[in-house]
Amino acid sequence: MNQYLVMSVVPQNFLNHISLDCVVFGFHDNQLKVLLLQTKETREWALPGGFVQNNESIEEAATRVLKERTGVNNVFLQQFHVFSKPGRNESNPIIRDMNKTYSPEVLEWFNNRFISVGFYALVDFSKVTPMPDANSATCEWESLKEIKSLIIDHMEILNKALETLRLQMSYQPIGYNLLPQKFTMPELQKLYETILGRELDRRNFQRKILSFKILKKLDERKTGGAYKSPYLYKFDLERYQKALNEGLSGKW
Amino acid sequence: MNQYLVMSVVPQNFLNHISLDCVVFGFHDNQLKVLLLQTKETREWALPGGFVQNNESIEEAATRVLKERTGVNNVFLQQFHVFSKPGRNESNPIIRDMNKTYSPEVLEWFNNRFISVGFYALVDFSKVTPMPDANSATCEWESLKEIKSLIIDHMEILNKALETLRLQMSYQPIGYNLLPQKFTMPELQKLYETILGRELDRRNFQRKILSFKILKKLDERKTGGAYKSPYLYKFDLERYQKALNEGLSGKW
């Protein structure tokens, strides 16, 4: 079992008071999934997270944590909000669990006030191998709509990530990291509907998404279907990247 | 002189390793202005910033700092990015200046690695009374286009704030905190042009901004002008707020 003992490191190698939490989204079976860890003793659910080493930026720390939990690199990973309510990490069940294993010095460090930088990641579900950290029993994909409660303020972090992703869809393209390389228009629409949590009109969706000019229609239909199989599309990566940087809705 | 001695506080009351920096934008004489502090000894320019007290969130800390530097409350203030490159706050001229005034313990604290949360604020220029902090000679508005260099990574923070503001204009309304309560269409267009740094077509701008339905046309013209004075508008605050939350470019 490939378990990374991130939490067994000596506190002196990490910045005090600063942590990060990752909301990792994947798309599978027409459902939006989130990667979660389960605590060993109380069997509660938590977002994957970690701390910042003395010699790394917070982005490098998040990339490292994500690689440790998923096995993948080069994913779309973006900081979206800092969570800093005083007392937010009091009564963290992970620290209760840790009482049996760690020295008083390490426990004291974990019991400090931590401000957490939230990151969200969009990953290719099929490429991820979920791996628990040293303080967790399991690491699993959960369907977003099945997630009822998480430890400390992780539910707030998840909701804020989702809110950011939904707002971002109104001005930036999404899908490149969530869909296979070739996809049909109904598959792309389903992704949008899943994230937004509601149904969209087929013709309006198609007109709007085509108007952004980020798609290439292929001279190829989805195989294995009926006579009228839908055409396949792929993203025009140059234009996709441009829209990521400049926004979709065009020039003023 | 109303100087707030934020930096003379004892480090124990503040979280180590975490700071915040504020990019405060104001609009005056058809120019975008940024509030800056000048260091006492080296006369370099810096963004207003501060630290997080043990009992406050990072938003509360930013609100406090902004109130101290501007005298105003209730401004549009938003965190936009965390700056965390290792070594970013090495050779900070403010700390060189402080050598003469502060104890070795305080200086040691300031010399720690700091991760900074960037906030940007949009304020009513006419209501602000710039006030330097204990480590600065002056606090002044500078025209954005005149700002050539800032201490440590503050130029990067300013540029990222501007980039965020420009992207945000493509999906959220702006102007409420930057313009007087009643304004003309040319004044609103000038604000957009100033932030974007380029001219816009008058008719396209008017059509697009009206399509968002966030403006109320008043039965009133700008006084003091010529025969054909332009009509005055104000924001429909209910719809403005809705567009802030849901994005401008409409439903999918």
Render pLDDT for A186-206 as a digit per residue (tens, 0 to 9). Answer: 999 999 999 988 899 999 999
Q: A35-44, A149-158, A225-234, B223-232 — which one is most confidently predicted on average?
A: A149-158
Residues A42 and B110: their CA atoms lie apart, in Å, by 40
Read off the pLDDT of residues B15-43 as tens digits, 9 standing for 90 and up: 999 999 999 999 998 899 999 999 988 89
- pLDDT, mean of residues A176-184: 90
Return the higher-pLDDT residue of A213 and B96: A213
For chain B, the maximum distance between any two Cα atoms, rounded to a whole number of angstroms, is 68
Confidence of residue B4 (pLDDT cuts 50, 70, 90): very low
Looking at residue A229, its pLDDT comes to 84
Partner-chain contact B170 A81, CB within 8 Å: no
Neighbours of B237 (CB within 10 A): 11
Confidence of residue A21 (pLDDT cuts 50, 70, 90): very high
Return the higher-pLDDT residue of B162 and A228: B162
Question: Residue A75: is it exposed, middle or buried by C-beta count within 10 angstroms (0-12/13-18/19+)?
Answer: middle
Average pLDDT across chain B, whole number: 89
Looking at residue B225, its pLDDT comes to 61
- pLDDT, mean of residues B177-195: 92
Of A76-80, A247-251, B14-18, B42-46, minimum mean pLDDT range = A247-251
Residue B2 has pLDDT above 70, yes or no: no
Q: Which of A18, A113, A205 is closest, CB to CB, to B115?
A: A18
Partner-chain contact B15 A113, CB within 8 Å: yes
Residues A84 and A149: their CA atoms lie apart, in Å, by 20
Read off the pLDDT of residues B44-96 as tens digits, 9 standing for 90 and up: 999 999 999 999 999 999 999 999 999 998 888 999 999 999 999 998 888 87
Looking at residue B160, its pLDDT comes to 97
Alpha helix stretches (DSSP H) within B100-184: 104-110, 154-168
Alpha helix stretches (DSSP H) within chain A: 58-70, 93-98, 104-110, 154-168, 185-196, 202-211, 237-246
B67 at interface of A, judged by CB pairs closer than 8 A: no
Whether the CB-CB separation of B236 and B214 falls below 8 Å is answered with: yes
Residues B172 and B159: their CA atoms lie apart, in Å, by 19
- pLDDT, mean of residues B202-221: 92
Partner-chain contact B248 A57, CB within 8 Å: no
- pLDDT, mean of residues B108-112: 90
Confidence of residue A74 (pLDDT cuts 50, 70, 90): confident
- pLDDT, mean of residues A215-240: 87
Residue A214 has pLDDT above 70, yes or no: yes
Looking at residue B128, its pLDDT comes to 94
Quick one: tokens of A240? 């996709």
Whether the CB-CB separation of A129 and A138 falls below 8 Å is answered with: no
Residues B214 and B240: their CA atoms lie apart, in Å, by 5
Looking at residue A249, its pLDDT comes to 61
B244 at interface of A, judged by CB pairs closer than 8 A: no
Name the minimum distance, in Å, from the CA of B40 to any CA of chain A: 30
Confidence of residue B226 (pLDDT cuts 50, 70, 90): low
For chain A, the maximum distance between any two Cα atoms, rounded to a whole number of angstroms, is 68
Using a CB-CB cut-off of 8 Å, the residues of chain B touching A54 are: 86, 113
Looking at residue A3, its pLDDT comes to 37
Return the higher-pLDDT residue of B245 and B152: B152
Neighbours of B8 (CB within 10 A): 13
Looking at residue A227, its pLDDT comes to 66
Whether the CB-CB separation of B24 and B54 falls below 8 Å is answered with: no
Quick one: tokens of A131? 């791996």
Confidence of residue B252 (pLDDT cuts 50, 70, 90): low
Q: Which of residues 10-49 of B touch A (CB under 8 A)?
A: 15-18
Residues B199 and A157: their CA atoms lie apart, in Å, by 39
Q: Give the Cα-Cα-Cα angle B152, B153, B157 (nearest 5 degrees).
A: 145
Q: Percent of chain B beyond pLDDT 70?
A: 93
> Which residue has 């005056």 as its token pair?
B28
ipTM over 0.85: yes
Q: A79-93, A170-184, B237-251 — which one is most confidently predicted on average?
A: A79-93
Partner-chain contact B252 A196, CB within 8 Å: yes
Confidence of residue B185 (pLDDT cuts 50, 70, 90): very high
Partner-chain contact B85 A57, CB within 8 Å: yes
Q: Percent of chain A beyond pLDDT 70?
A: 93
Return the higher-pLDDT residue of A120 and A12: A120
Read off the pLDDT of residues A145-172 as tens digits, 9 standing for 90 and up: 999 999 999 999 999 999 999 888 878 8
**Residue B146 carries which DSSP code?**
G
Whether the CB-CB separation of A230 and A184 falls below 8 Å is answered with: yes
